[in-house]
Amino acid sequence: VQLVESGGGLVQAGGSLRLSCVASGFNFADYAYGWFRQAPGKEREGLTCMSIRDFLTYRSDVAKGRFTISSDIPKTTVFLQMNSLNPEDTAVYSCAAVPLATFLTNNYAYRGCPANTMAIWGQGALVTVSS
């Protein structure tokens, strides 16, 4: 059971980056997926999460207009497209999975996915945005 992120790296301010998160070892369709980040010296924050059954999606204020979550179900992969990056976006980005039933029952599409309810976590991918 694992989530493996890739696509992190160094990007200039104003640039874009797409992170990928490949799921394996469990039934991809039984979960909803979210992206979180943690900057140096700061608490982890939720960015966006989505049900892959009906694509109900939550975006935090930080994510709105710049970050988009999507999925490729046959490839059991979730993506985070990040545009207009700035140095304040420098962080370790992690994907995580929560049981779909939990996502739907608790209306996470409207209030976000709490990190402490996510059942499976990836190892994280470092994104560094230079000025």
Amino acid 32 reads A
Identify the pLDDT of residue 119.
98
Confidence class for position 123, pLDDT limits 50, 70, 90: very high
pLDDT in tens, 46-70: 999 999 988 899 999 999 999 999 9
Token readout for 102 is: 């939990």
- Which residue(s) pair with 98 in the sheet? 32
- State how far the alpha carbon of 74 is from the alpha carbons of 7, 14, 19, 48, 81, in Å: 19, 32, 17, 21, 19
Identify the pLDDT of residue 88.
96
Token readout for 122 is: 């990836």
